[in-house]
Amino acid sequence: MTGTGTATDPYIISTLADLQAMEDDLTAYYELGGNIDASGSTAYDGGAGFVPIGQAGYFTGQLDGKGYTISDLFINRADNYQALFYNIDTGAVIQNVKMTLVDITGTGGAAIGALVGYMLAGTVTSCSSTGTTDGDDMVGGLIGEIVTGVVSKSWSSCVATATDDYAGGFAGYIIGGAISKCYATGNVVAADDYAGGFVGGIQAGAATIDDCYARGNATASGATAYGVGGFVGYNGGAVIDDCYSTGIATGTAAYTGGFCGVNGDTITNCFWDTETSGNATSDGGTGKTTAQMKTQATFTDAGWDFTTPIWYITSGVNSGYPSLNPSVAGEVKGEIIVKGTRFQYFDYFGVQRYVEGLVVE
């Protein structure tokens, strides 16, 4: 790959081989130079697939995906922390990375995700994933386990399956950190306990989750199926504010809720759809009809920000439920850089965005 790995001259990743070579320098700066077809990873390492970045030590460098896509990444290993990044720590910044059609399995392993397996610290922003993630415990659509750090403006539609506990559409298990302006739409299944449309379980810590939503179904099929919710299965240590869910939560009735299955901390100004979820009760949150969930006043009356705006409602977007604004575009700030058919700009929130197209005069 080209570049020297510094902030001003990052390594440019142009091939799957370049992506795998990130393991050789876990403190460097990287950028994607184009879309990466990772389908060849099925033949890597004797069929075990891509070797997650950071197995030799925590990744503390930076990767800017520049809005490009990594497609068809394959991993099938009997180990923990299976994802594009095995683990990340303080200093790590992963941004603008799109992952599509991932097929990631950690047989008997914990902390399995599409982008990050184990997030000890660091920053993840404007990243996304589609496909499937499978493991034993703590399986998330984007991140397996979050200990601390900042995650924002990211989403996943991955189907997440745990053969034991903790399956979440966005993250499997959270201890701390700040998660904001994120969403998940994939269905999740835990064979035993703790399944949530957004996060499977949250343990005692100092986590905050705000301005997020989940649209997928959550199922736990254990004998007691403790902790199943449309948004979170078990909340033992997070302040959750201005969030909602719409998916079906299925488990033992005593521990299943439309928004949260079992709540041991703080849930404020949160809602779930009582009709689509099939649940009239929840341990936290306020149940609303589908019509009410598609009415802006339901949320503005609770103090949600539709003015800045963080949220908006449009009948033809997100099935009429509140959407995070903007998802891929917004107010242009400052200079627009044009390189061929690729445009760089800053959206309403100041996030760097990239669009491909043609200039028509």
* pLDDT 10s digits, 311-347: 999 998 999 999 998 643 333 334 445 555 555 554 4
Distances (CA, A) of 39 to 47, 49, 63, 70, 128: 12, 10, 20, 9, 18
Element containing residue 313 per DSSP (H, E) = none
**What does each C-alpha distance from 207 to 111, 173, 179, 180, 231 come to in angstroms?**
17, 11, 8, 11, 15
Predicted pLDDT of residue 236 = 94
- Half-sphere exposure (Cβ direction) of 130: Cα atoms closer than 13 Å: 7
Residues 39 and 57 in one domain: yes
pLDDT score for 225: 80
**For the whole model, what pTM was predicted?**
0.90
Query: Is residue 300 domain-shared with residue 194, that is, in the same domain?
Result: yes
On whether both 96 and 208 belong to a single domain, the answer is yes
Instruction: State the Cα–Cα distance between residues 14 and 192, nearest whole angstrom.
Output: 41
In the predicted model, residues of the chain with pLDDT beneath 50 are: 327-336, 346-351, 358-361
Paired sense of beta strands 266-268 and 238-245, if any:
parallel
**Same domain (yes/no): 322, 340:** no
pLDDT at residue number 206 = 83
Question: Measuring CA to CA, which residue among 263, 243, 267 is closest to residue 255?
Answer: 263
d(CA 303, CA 71): 39
What tokens appear for 86 in the block? 């095995």
Range of the domain at 356: 336-361
Token pair, residue 341, equals 């058919």
Give CA–CA dist 340/325, Å, rounded: 28
**Residue 6 lies inside a defined structural domain of this protein:** no
Residue 299 included in any domain: yes
Q: Are residues 351 and 243 in the same domain?
A: no
Here the tokens at position 266 are 């703080």
**Phi (first) and psi of residue 12, to 5 degrees:** -100, 120
- CA-based nearest residue to 251, from 278, 286, 276: 278
Residue 4 falls within a domain, yes or no?
A: no
Residues 220 and 101 in one domain: yes
Residues 330 and 346 in one domain: no
- Are residues 357 and 307 located together in one domain of the fold? no
Asked if residue 197 belongs to a domain, the reply is yes
Helix (H, G, I), strand (E, B) or coil at 327: coil
In a domain, 2, yes or no: no
Quick one: 56 and 186 in the same domain? yes
Q: Give phi and psi for 137, each to the nearest 5.
A: -130, 155
Regarding whether 347 and 290 lie in a shared domain, the answer is: no
User: Is 1 among the domain residues?
Assistant: no
Query: What is Dmax (Cα atoms) for the chain?
Result: 64
pLDDT of 221 reads 87
Angle at 246 between CA 244 and CA 251, to 5 degrees: 110
For the chain, how far is it from start to end, CA to CA, in angstroms? 37
- CA neighbours closer than 13 Å in the CB half-sphere of residue 350: 2
Cross-strand pairs, 345: 353
Task: Tell me how far apart the alpha carbons of residues 126 and 84 are, in angstroms, rounded to a whole number.
Answer: 16
Of 38, 34, 126, nearest to 83 by C-alpha is 38
Structure tokens at 149: 């750090």
Instruction: Say whether both 314 and 343 belong to one domain.
Output: no
CB atoms within 10 A of CB 331: 11
Map residue 109 onto helix, strand or coil: strand
Q: Which amino acid is at 72?
A: D
Residue 220: both structure tokens together: 């736990």
Q: What is the pLDDT of residue 359?
A: 44
What is the per-residue pLDDT for 338?
53
Number of structural domains the chain divides into:
2
Q: Evaluate whether residue 116 is within a structural domain.
A: yes
Please tell me whether residues 78 and 149 are part of one structural domain. Answer: yes
In a domain, 168, yes or no: yes
| CB proximity list for 361: less than 8 A, separation 6 or greater | none
What pLDDT is recorded for position 356?
A: 55
Q: Pairing mode, if any, of strands 195-196 and 228-229?
A: parallel
